[in-house]
Amino acid sequence: MSDLTHGDVGNGNSPTSADARLSQEALPVGLLPREFEAEYLAGAVAPFVLSGQYVGEIPSLPMIDLSYSKQYAIEPHIWGLLYDGWEPNGDKDGIAVFIQGYEYRGPENARKRIYMSATTPDLIATKYHHKLTRFFDDLFANRNAGKPLMKRFYDTYFDMYWDLHLGVRGDAIPAEVRDFGSSFTAFLGYWYPTSEVVHEHYMRARRTRQPLQDWVDARVQDMIDGKVPNPDQTFVYYWLKNGGLGEDFRRKDIVFECFHNLLAFSQWGNTTYNVMARLVPDAGNKTVRSWFERTMTAGPDVSDGSAFTPLDRFVMELMRTISPNAGSASLPTRNQDLRGAQYTTVVTPHSATSEDPRHWTNPCEFDPDRYKNAPTTVDNDETKVRQIGLARCPFPRDSFAVKDGRDAHIENSAFGAAYATVEGQAFPLCDTAGYAPFGFGYRRCGGEYLTVEFIKELLRKAWRDGITFNKLDLDNPERRPVGPRTVIDDDIAFRPGA
């Protein structure tokens, strides 16, 4: 990769061998600003321009086969943000389950089950809920009325984030940790390493990552030493208890998850913006608004015999139709390719799968009632897979009992999707390929319950307070990165209720 350095670009004749000249000619030498350091060119830009991404098939079943690997399956220009050496080094520096192949996760997806022991519905209801409520109370405080909302969203977003992970907020979060968070989020939004804005945020994130990791590690130690107030209101508490600092969730993995989760959480910005946009009178979506009113008037949380409450179903349909996560990326098994395998990803598309007529009779309608009879993780068992013509479950069913004192288990459907059972009560997830926003099978989102609750809380707050959203008529709205490859005009405000 040294072909991209400024030395080569500057004098134009540094390579001496024919090979070196050839490889230099094959690469975009001299096309990028001189401020881009050699290591950035080699570590971020070159992998990006060499990379290829292909669209995978639309699944018929809610799973992705293991031949599409999850191990290190991420766009290659991201590595420099996560690891010092510009390439993955999970053994030494820790790894997130998000980029871990099934075969490396411990027995029956153990790592994922430990991860999810911290994000179960009972904890959301009793331990984390006030953190979400506080976030929306701040966001929709009267002082913010009439102002572009996404800027305000990010005023307290990192407080909520670190509070959920480590029980830390406000001044206790060092400036470097906040800097890393905003640079990481900006990088994700602007995405293209060939741009100056990405270069700036990327290198700032690299400078602040080590202080951030040291800080997180010290907070993990505080948790172990019993120095954190209300420790059971944090993810790390459950990862420590249920992983036992063993091989399937090492201390360095806990630290890694704590900052890698910025990627997962970054999608809350995009989702919030899109939900608000649909609820704007006139400019929004009439059908969505009418369903919202009906759902909230009739009783959002009533149990009506379906696996999901009316508000659950409404949020699920928002997720299916907004689909903030475009697709599930995998590294394909390679038969033939000259480039390194790490440069090729295949993406199983989410919107196209959610809207495939194989899966729904009315795929393009906004219809929360579709989930009244949709298959769930509880339904998809041995009998069900036989009915659809398979000889056995693609993923063996297992039940992980948490070790933190609760009577809770992380189970899985026949297709691998993990879900929680608490005190004998199952909390099903919709388990059909047609519901794709959170991905599929063993690698489906580990934060799905929390994300759905976050959006439910946004909607409850808006309804309770009579909030209306409005589009601002701004000449130059601020551009704001709100999720991977997504930068929006910050142009939605709210009016408080009477």
Site size for ligand HEM, by CB under 6 A? 26
Residue 45 or 483 with smaller CB distance to ligand HEM = 483
SS3 17: coil
443 binds ligand HEM, rule: CB under 6 A = yes
Of residues 50, 316, 329, 462, which one binds ligand HEM by CB under 6 A? 329
Given the rule CB under 6 A, which of 124-132, 151-159, 394-402, 445-453 is the region that contacts ligand HEM?
Answer: 445-453
**Residues 169, 152: Cα–Cα separation, whole Å:** 16
Residue 104's φ and ψ, nearest 5 degrees, are: -105, 5
185 binds ligand HEM, rule: CB under 6 A = no
DSSP 105-120: S-GGGHHHHHHHTTS-
Residue 396's φ and ψ, nearest 5 degrees, are: -60, 145
- The residue among 229, 204, 257, 189 whose CA lies nearest residue 81 is 204
* CB 179, min distance to ligand HEM, A: 21
Given the rule CB under 6 A, which of 133-141, 175-183, 245-253, 444-452 is the region that contacts ligand HEM?
Answer: 444-452
**Residues 253, 93: Cα–Cα separation, whole Å:** 8
97 binds ligand HEM, rule: CB under 6 A = yes
Q: What is the separation of C-alpha 195 from the centre of its chain, rounded to a whole number of angstroms?
A: 24
Given the rule CB under 6 A, which of 38-46, 299-307, 440-448, 486-494 is the region that contacts ligand HEM?
Answer: 440-448
Cβ(469)–Cβ(278) under 8 Å?
A: no
Of residues 371, 435, 438, 469, which one binds ligand HEM by CB under 6 A? 438
98 binds ligand HEM, rule: CB under 6 A = yes
183 binds ligand HEM, rule: CB under 6 A = no
Residues in 256-275 at the binding interface with ligand HEM, rule: CB under 6 A: 261, 264-265, 267-268, 271
Residue 481's φ and ψ, nearest 5 degrees, are: -70, 125
452 binds ligand HEM, rule: CB under 6 A = no
* CB 465, min distance to ligand HEM, A: 23
Contacts of 45 (CB under 8 A, 6+ apart): 4, 28, 32, 36, 77, 193, 194
Residue 267 or 432 with smaller CB distance to ligand HEM = 267
- The residue among 295, 316, 314, 317 whose CA lies nearest residue 463 is 295
* CB 251, min distance to ligand HEM, A: 18
Q: What is the separation of C-alpha 120 from the centre of its chain, rounded to a whole number of angstroms?
A: 16
List interacting residues with ligand HEM (CB under 6 A).
70, 97-98, 112, 115, 119, 261, 264-265, 267-268, 271, 324-325, 328-329, 437-439, 443-447, 450-451
